[in-house]
Structure 1
Amino acid sequence: MPFELTEAQARVALTGWLGGLWFAPNGLLEYTRKGRAMAGIYVPFWTFDADTESNYRGQRGDHYYVTETVTVMVNGKSERRQQQVQKTRWTSVSGHVARDFDDVLVMASTSLPARLGNNLTPWDLGKLEPYAPDYLAGFQAEGYTVSLSDGRDKSHDIMAGVIDQDVRRDIGGDVQRVDSVSTDYSAETFKHILLPVWTAAYKYGGKSYQFLVNGQTGEVQGERPYSWWKIGFAVVAAAILAAGATYLYDPSIFGLPRPDWMN
């Protein structure tokens, strides 16, 4: 798949993402604004298709409410009050769900954080092109370091998460318990593809943080550092505001008399 974003466009996407981070070090945005070079890499992925049939057993929970008398504290005194209390009625269930999966992506490189690479979605795989050396001109291309077998196992883990949601919808009710799911896979196929990613790294506090930009859509994923002095300042400011609000509510909590203007 060819790169659709230039390096300059990828840097704009990364700068926008970094600008939305809370408690980020001041130097983080400066890093991108100074025009530090980003690397364009074709990252290998496996893509898997499969038809699945799943049998499940579980429990359906339906909420209902009963009126109970409880003791509550009101202005420092205990009172007996009636209130509605939620209960759940559980019913054993079993059933069957089916789902066909198309192009489940699994990153096939171990040089980049899998959590980041696998979340660079969405990709428009309809724009995949047959391999041609010209596409790689000026870019790096990584080899596969995740085997087909391991990639297949990871794709099944991804599919299992989707099937779990299908099962819960099929069970219905307000809440669900899934006790067991048995899935049969058929018509399994795979492709190995190269997807365009812009990468950058930032060193802070002796540790390197990586950022990835989808070279097709501009989606950004990254490992973010925190500025602990900013967090500390925010905590102190919040504590001061909370103390001020408590004083306005009841100065006696601090052993102080109530000012005349509050009477």
Structure 2
Amino acid sequence: MQDVRHWPCESCGADLRFAPGQTRLVCDHCGHVQEIPATAPTDRRGMGELDLHAALADRLPASASEQVRTTPCPSCGALVEFEGATHATQCPFCATPVVAGTGETRLLKPQAVIPFRLTEREARQAMTDWLGRLWFAPNGLVQYARKGRALSGLYVPYWTFDAATRSRYTGQRGDAYYTTRTVTVEVNGRPQRRTERVRQIRWTPVSGRVAREFDDVLVLASQSLPRHYTEALEPWDLSALEPYRADWLAGFTAEGYTVGLPEGWSRAQEIMARTIRGDVARDIGGDEQRVGQVETAYDRETFKHVLLPVWMAAYRYGGKSYRFVVNGQTGRVQGERPWSAWKIAFAVLLGLIAAGIAAYISQAR
């Protein structure tokens, strides 16, 4: 986790912050506004794909990485990064005090970032709306979340991968056909013979080839947030990526990656394999398919390290902790599901009453 650099206001010296949804830095102290320069074409070329094999073999230019002081959070594992003379801080995920270690780590620099589009107020509204739509959610938590402490803006690390794939497969194609059979059934106490159609499948061995170009397969590079949380925030509009510059991070926090490039590539291959399996099933055709062995060759593998915006909140209510995340680009929400015991009990009671009334009416007839 990185406490991002501070940008002093030219007028009063206070810290500037990036204004979500805009292209400017603002000073909350004196109101000064500083525009972020427009992205030049040469800057966009700087966020191009990097060669995966060169990176895995540690053959990227030295300018692609940087030396940083990092310490893993002892509670949640988030990678806490220290800048300048800072030697102690607090983990924004779990509030655990973290003290800087003596070692340094060389990490790949981010190449691109999607700046926050939603303000903290908009993200809070999206979260409370989401809570309000949940069945059996405690009303008190919704009100507490609406009036509670501010959400934290966090840039979460991801890898994106590109690859051209060619796959050879074997399997079976299933074509349906129908036969008839005669069965005996009882109707009004008497046996009757009836003819019915039975669906059968004729299986034929098949083999073939499929090819696909993958672009920007997204893999979470953090272990601090559960994967099912971040997957629920998708899709992201990656066309909104901007070349990395510290201005976009002013006033926010950015997490260092804790899922390394080799592990990220393995995860990307798993994602690609699911898509390729669907391609194979469509190529086999027929009414049903059995996919056997699939052998995939990869070519032109490249990657990017990007930062995506997430608003995060953690609340303690009724003796329990609840954590929520909001996509800072689209407003999609995911979190731990709260339950209201009295709402559930009331619903059960209403169900029992309705069942009793239905039974009484049935007996009265």
Q: Deviations over 1:158-189 (max 9, x none)?
A: 11111111111111222221111111111000
* Change in 2 beyond 3 A, CA 1:234/1:173: farther
Within-5 A mapping of 1:207-246: 207-242=320-355, 244-245=357-358
Q: Which moved more, 1:236-245 or 1:8-17?
A: 236-245
Residue 222 of structure 1 and its aligned partner are, at CA, apart by: 2.1
Larger CA deviation: 137-146 vs 237-246:
237-246
Residue by residue over 1:207-245, the C-alpha shift from the partner in whole angstroms, topping out at 9 and shown as x without a partner, is 433221111111222221233443444345445544554
Secondary structure at the aligned position of 2:123 is classed as: helix
Contact 2:145 2:315 in 1 (8 A): no
Give 3-state SS (helix, strand or coil) of 1:112's partner: coil
Q: Which residue is 1:54 aligned to?
A: 167
Distance (Å, rounded) in 1 between the aligned partners of 2:205 and 2:152:
54
Aligned residues: 252
Matches within 5 A, 1:120-199: 120-199=233-312
The answer to whether the aligner puts 1:94 opposite 2:202 as a matched pair is: no
Inter-CA distance 236–174: structure 2 relative to 1 (3 Å threshold): farther
**In the alignment, is the contact (CA less than 8 A) between 1:38 and 1:198 conserved in 2?**
yes
When residues 60 and 228 of structure 1 are mapped into structure 2, their CA distance, relative to the original with a 3 A threshold, is farther
* Shift, 1:50, TM fit: 0.6
Q: 2:181, 2:195 within 8 Å by CA — same for their partners in 1?
A: yes
Change (3 A) 1:57 1:220: same
- Tell me how far apart the structure 1 counterparts of residues 266 and 176 of structure 2 sit (CA, whole Å): 37
**1:104 and 2:234 are equivalent in the alignment:** no
SS class of match (2:117): coil
The SS at the match of 2:232 is coil
**Relative CO higher for 1 or 2, CA cutoff 8 Å, sep ≥ 6?**
1
Identity over aligned residues, as a percent?
A: 63
**1:21 Cα shift?**
1.6
Provide the residue aligned with 1:255 in structure 2: none
Distance in 1 between residues matched to 2:338 and 2:352, nearest whole Å = 24
Aligned to 1:31: 144
Whose helix fraction is larger, Structure 1's or Structure 2's?
1
**Alpha-carbon distance change, 91 to 31 in structure 1, aligned in 2, over 3 angstroms:** farther
TM-score, normalised to structure 2, is 0.63
**Structure 2 residue matching 1:221: 3-state secondary structure:** strand
Per-residue Cα deviation, 1:57-108 (whole angstroms, up to 9, x for no partner):
1122223333333455667876543333322222221111111100111111
* Greater Cα shift, 86-95 or 63-72: 63-72
Contact 1:106 1:118 in 2 (8 A): no
Residue 158 of structure 2: SS of its match in structure 1? strand
Instruction: Decide whether the 8 Å contact of 2:222 with 2:258 is kept in 1.
Output: yes
Q: Equivalent residue for 2:104?
A: none
Structure 1 residues 67 and 244, CA gap change in structure 2 (3 angstroms) = farther
Counterpart code for 2:255? E
Whole-Å Cα distance in 1 between the matches of residues 339 and 194 of structure 2? 47
Distance, in Å, in 1 between the alignment partners of 2:128 and 2:188 is: 51
Q: CA deviation at 1:131?
A: 1.9
Q: Note the residue ranges of structure 2 that are not aligned, 5 or more in a row.
A: 1-113
Distance 1:83 1:132 in 2: 70
Q: Contact between 1:53 and 1:96, CA under 8 Å: does it hold in 2?
A: yes
What is the SS of the residue equivalent to 1:30?
Answer: helix
Q: Distance between the aligned counterparts of 2:165 and 2:316, measured in 1?
A: 44
Q: In the aligned structure 2, how far is the partner of 1:68 from the partner of 1:229?
A: 55
Q: What is the one-letter code of the residue matched to 1:164?
A: R
2:32 aligned residue: none
Give the 3-state SS of the residue equivalent to 2:242 in structure 1. Answer: coil
Q: Which amino acid in the other structure matches residue 237 of structure 2? A: D
